[in-house]
Amino acid sequence: MTALVRYTLANVVLSQRYLPAVLVFLVVLVVFTGADSGPLLPVYAVSAAAVFACGTWLTVVTINAEDPTQRAVTVVNAGGSGRVLVASVWVAFAWCVFLGVIGLFYPLLTGHHRAVPAEFALGAVAELTSACTGIAVGLLCSRIVVRRTGVAVLAALAGIFAFLLVPGLPPVRSEFLLLAGGRPASAVLAPAVGFAAVAVVLLMGMSVLTRYVARRKD
Amino acid sequence: MRLQGVGKRYGDGAWILSDVDLDLRAGDVVAVAGANGAGKSTLLRVLVGLSRPTVGDVTGRPTAVGYVPDRFPPHDRMSARAYLTHMGRIRGLRGRQARRRADELLDRLALAGGADTALRRLSRGNSQKVALAQALLVQPELLVLDEPWSGLDAEAHGTLGEIITELGRDGSRVVFTDHREAVTAAHAHRTYRIDAGRLTEAVTAAPARVELRPTGDDPVALADLPGVTGTQERDGTVTMLVDAEHCDAVLRAALDGGWSVMAVRRSAGVLR
């Protein structure tokens, strides 16, 4: 699995298709959270939302970096499409961790916040929730599920907006409302961890669904 | 390895493969010939496990499988050596082992432009060599090649033939497709024909070498019969090359027409 993850990562990095997603993330972070001196949690809600959207984008980029024929060769060499998919999920997760770490520290370095450990922990839980949900949406919009690029872009946008805007749809929107609600971090940490768990389960479910749909198309 | 009653279709679409039976024993080299769209590539995808059959069973597929696709997409910034090293590691080789094996194979296949060229800068023939090399990093027990001769230069043609022969001798199963009878006959032990998704074993395509002597004074002329591709006379014996499918008819005509059959042999296709 290490070799497969390494290859997948090398392929995305060399394709340079990660650049737009990472740049958009950095711009959003600088514009909305830089040199801020208000409360920290709403700032983390913004950076987690950016991780969510860019995580979806990076997941699609990671999987689509391989042409279908090239992927077929990788699948045969790896001994199964499931392993290749799991490697892609790990690489997408690594991208999200990279963005998430920047999202957690950048506001602290440039703004004037008094960081409480509980707030920092809540921010990390929110980034995790966003990462898992973003990857889950990205998997279903990747080429192994949706062959046409136009349809995939529309599906990804629909997925991102649905999770951000539809009231009552867990886990990211509920997570952001907790962060922006003005309650102390220690009080909302427990439900936040609950939403993160929902996101992890969602990611696992969508991985299984992606594999099922992809196998039907093969 | 065995395919039994294998059929494949997508959704409610037409059957791309139907009722395919195929037995592959260790050491078998099998060619599949057929027109474009006859189902060759789908059969190969089923063989290597990329596609699951809609009906039927595939049993006994070995673990070490090599797959060489028809068209290897070269729009990749990774170098040939780096790509092969990654594939070797994915196969379970150590980094150094994988790199050495990659260099060996690229040397043998004579990759033009060198191992450090980015895949997307390679010509069609050279990217086909990389595609071939990735399937051979670990000795495959089943090697499946889709139109492997197309795009390769003359020198690589010979090397590919050698590699296939060696693998067969070492007990690997090799399956390849090609639309040219001459190629399939030269390299395969068995040839199958695929037409509209149905697989049938083809009659051996190698021509027969027939030696005849006249029994009377006035034997009928045979050189213009269908299937006769060459005749030669020496010391009263006439040697003819006859296409396998017409051989019976030509022999019958010869026996009826005042000839005696001295010998019938499989031939390499040339009269000496």
In Å, what is the CA distance from B114 to each residue of A7, B105, B110, B130, B156? 21, 12, 9, 11, 15
The angle at the Cα of B148, spanning B153 to B184, to the nearest 5 degrees, equals 105
Nearest-neighbour CA in chain A from B89: distance (Å): 6
Half-sphere exposure of A103 (CA within 13 A, CB side): 36
Among A10-19, A175-184, B70-79, B123-132, where is mean pLDDT lowest? B70-79
pTM of the model: 0.83
B67: β partners: B144
Residue B245, chain A, CB below 8 Å: the answer is no
Q: Do strands B190-195 and B198-201 pair parallel, antiparallel, or not at all (unpaired)?
A: antiparallel
Q: Which residue has the higher pLDDT, B205 or B116?
A: B116
Q: Which residue has the higher pLDDT, A38 or B2?
A: B2
Half-sphere exposure of A204 (CA within 13 A, CB side): 5
Q: Which of B86, B127, B143 to mutate to test the interface with A (most CBs of A within 10 A)?
A: B86
Supply the pLDDT for residue B236. 85
Nearest to B78 among A14, A81, A217 (CB): A14
Q: What is the mean pLDDT of residues A20-29?
A: 95
Tokens of A30: 């600088």
CA distance B97 to A87: 23
Residue with tokens 């994988």: B98
Instruction: Look at residues B240, B231, B236 and name the one whose alpha carbon lies nearest to residue B215.
Output: B236
Is pLDDT above 70 for B271? no
Is pLDDT above 60 for B41? yes
CA A184, A190, A195, A200 dihedral sign is: positive
The angle at the Cα of A164, spanning A158 to A166, to the nearest 5 degrees, equals 80
CA distance B6 to B46: 9
Using a CB-CB cut-off of 8 Å, the residues of chain B touching A78 are: 90
Could you write out the three-class secondary structure of chain B? Answer: CEEEEEEECCCCCCCCEEEEEEECCCCCEEEEECCCCCCHHHHHHHHHCCCCCCEEEEECCCCCEEEECCCCCCCCCCEHHHHHHHHHHHCCCCHHHHHHHHHHHHHHHCCCCCCCCEHHHCCHHHHHHHHHHHHHCCCCCEEEECCCCCCCCHHHHHHHHHHHHHHHHCCCEEEEECCCHHHHHHHCCEEEEEECCEEEECCCCCCEEEEEEECCCCCCCCCCCCCEEEEEEECCEEEEEECHHHHHHHHHHHHHCCEEEEEEEECCCCCC
Is pLDDT above 80 for B75? no
Confidence of residue A211 (pLDDT cuts 50, 70, 90): very high
Mean pLDDT of chain A: 92
Using a CB-CB cut-off of 8 Å, the residues of chain B touching A215 are: 52
Instruction: Look at residues B131, B117, B98 and name the one whose alpha carbon lies nearest to residue A3.
Output: B98
Provide the terminal-to-terminal Cα distance of chain B, rounded to the nearest Å. Answer: 41
Using a CB-CB cut-off of 8 Å, the residues of chain B touching A80 are: 49
Q: pLDDT, tens digit, for every residue of B148-183?
A: 888 788 888 888 888 998 998 898 999 999 877 767
Supply the pLDDT for residue A193. 94
Q: What is the mean pLDDT of residues A138-160?
A: 94
Do A73 and B10 lie within an 8 Å CB cutoff? no
Confidence of residue B71 (pLDDT cuts 50, 70, 90): confident
Mean pLDDT of chain B: 87
Supply the pLDDT for residue A33. 84
The answer to whether the beta carbons of residues A106 and A29 sit under 8 Å apart is yes
Confidence of residue A21 (pLDDT cuts 50, 70, 90): very high
Is pLDDT above 70 for B74? no
Instruction: Look at residues B252, B220, B219, B225 and name the one whose alpha carbon lies nearest to residue B241.
Output: B225
- Give the chain A residue whose CA is nearest to the CA of B52: A218
Across the A/B interface, how many CB contacts are shorter than 8 Å?
Answer: 65
Q: pLDDT, tens digit, for every residue of A44-58?
A: 999 999 999 999 999
Supply the pLDDT for residue B178. 85
Provide the terminal-to-terminal Cα distance of chain A, rounded to the nearest Å. Answer: 22
Is pLDDT above 60 for A150? yes
Supply the pLDDT for residue B268. 63
Nearest to A77 among B10, B82, B90 (CB): B90
Is pLDDT above 70 for B272? no
List all residues of chain B from 24 to 53 with a beta carbon under 8 Å from chain A.
45, 48-52
Per DSSP, the three-state class of A114 is: coil
Cis before A117? omega within 30: no
Q: What is the mean pLDDT of residues B259-269?
A: 81
Give phi and psi for A82, each to the nearest 5. Answer: -60, -45
Quote ipTM for the complex: 0.88
Q: pLDDT, tens digit, for every residue of B184-236?
A: 777 888 888 888 888 888 765 577 889 999 888 888 888 888 878 888 888 88
Residue B73, chain A, CB below 8 Å: the answer is yes
In Å, what is the CA distance from B238 to each residue of B218, B220, B231, B262, B268? 14, 12, 7, 10, 18
Q: Which residue has the higher pLDDT, B42 or B247?
A: B42
Give phi and psi for B258, each to the nearest 5. Answer: 90, 30
Using a CB-CB cut-off of 8 Å, the residues of chain A touching B52 are: 215, 218
